[in-house]
Amino acid sequence: MGKLGYVGYLDGFRGVFCILIVAYHWPMQYLSISFGWEVLQTFFVISGYLITRILLNDKDKNPSAKDFYTRFLYRRSFRIFPLYFGFVGIWTLIYFIGVLGNIGFFKMITEDIATNGGFLYTYTYNFSNFINHFRGIEEVKFTIFGHLWSLSLEEQFYLLFPIIVFFLNRKQLLYTAIAITIMTPLIRYFGYEWMMHINPNHKWASVNLYRMAPFQMDSFAIGCLLALTGFKRIKNAVSFTWIFLGGLVAIYVANRYLVIYQGSSFEAIGGGRRLEEWLTTNYQHVYLFTLVNFGAAFIVMCFERGYGLIPKLFNNKVMVYFGKISYGIYVFHIPVLYFWLLLYSSIVPKWVFKKVPFIYEIAAWIPYFSLVFLFSHLSYKYFEIYFLKWKEKIDKKKFAKLRGDSVQ
């Protein structure tokens, strides 16, 4: 799909969608949203799209398997590892201080380190809920690491996908992506039935279904399909995308009213805050994931073809910068949320919430998001950027043959 190069509007796209993730995790009424999982699916599709482009661009330069795989992994590692392991490492230090000093608050906020530290440090945190069932360990009641499962999922994709791209030609890769897209809904169906058989706990099975790699393969595969084909057979991309998204909304509405007809309610079956539980009703987990993934891919398709003003809006300096620091926003927003609300609720009288709840919430949100932005900005400018520059220096020195425009 065109010449490989820096895609500014996708940075802006990621920035806006990361803000939506923050809103999804916001616990109050007025500024929260209930469609966070679709945003994460969009991130996975974009990853599949961008990584496929990067890998195919490198492969076209006929590298050795060692250079091809090593270059990709070290570039991803320099972008992802420093902040991730710095974040987990600091909280691990706080955990040990809490244990050695018998500080209850420190031990409480870092309980997940004791229970799931091995998963966090090996990028397998998305499997922790599943494996802990067989270890006889209950789910941690409080965690500031819960959102990191998606980073584990992406890292697993980064480890395996370059091998597939290197050893398959484009036609074989296309057929493989199509096969994965077709097979994954079936894997979700049988996977959910199997998990409910071994542990008839709807919440447990639903969370596993949403987080574990075998059940999310189609999101990356559809991104790969977009990179390989550009969906060029779709001539009127904007109209097609609007019709597709309209149909998707109709499916949402139909499912919501169907559960009412069945004698239940949207909230009772896990709607609202825990949409992964709602998705396993009426077999939505079988098809809705894939449809949302295609919807995300069609939106990117429209952007790539330069339709409308939206790509230009996302490509402005403010939105692009939000995209550049979006990794930090994602990592920091949960712990900042916890500590800010703890402070806010202790200094603002409760009668304010009862009398003017909207004002109370706005007054909480603005400082909260400002703090998230500040931490993310400082992390990018004074920490992450150092490793990004180091990455480029090593790239120039060791991989001159593979050098060229690339997407960070």
Q: What is the 3-class SS of 47-68, one letter each residue?
A: HHHHHHHHHHHHHCCCCCHHHH
Tokens of 74: 């070290």
Provide the pLDDT for residue 315: 79
> What tokens appear for 252 in the block?
């949402």
CB count in 10 Å sphere of residue 115: 18
Q: Which residues of 301-312 are buried (b: 16+ CB within 10 A; e: fewer)?
A: bbbbbeeeeebe
Whole-number pLDDT of residue 269: 47
Category of 140 on φ-ψ map: left (φ > 0), alpha (ψ -120 to 50) or beta: beta
Predicted pLDDT at 262 = 57
Q: How far from chain centre, in Å, is Cα 141?
A: 22
pLDDT of residue 310: 65
Whether the full predicted model's pTM is greater than 0.85, yes or no, is: yes
Q: What confidence score (pLDDT) does residue 177 get? A: 98
DSSP state of 349: -
What is the reported pLDDT for 72?
Answer: 92
Rg (CA), the chain: 22
Is the Cβ–Cβ distance between 307 and 334 less than 8 Å?
A: no
Least Cα distance to 175 among 252, 228, 113, 242 occurs for: 228
Profile the chain (408 residues) by mean pLDDT over runs of 10 residues: 59 87 89 83 94 92 87 92 97 94 90 93 96 89 90 96 95 98 97 95 89 96 96 92 95 79 51 61 89 95 76 80 94 95 88 84 94 97 94 79 52
Query: CA angle at residue 263 from 258 to 267, to 5 degrees?
Result: 75
Position 407 scores a pLDDT of 44
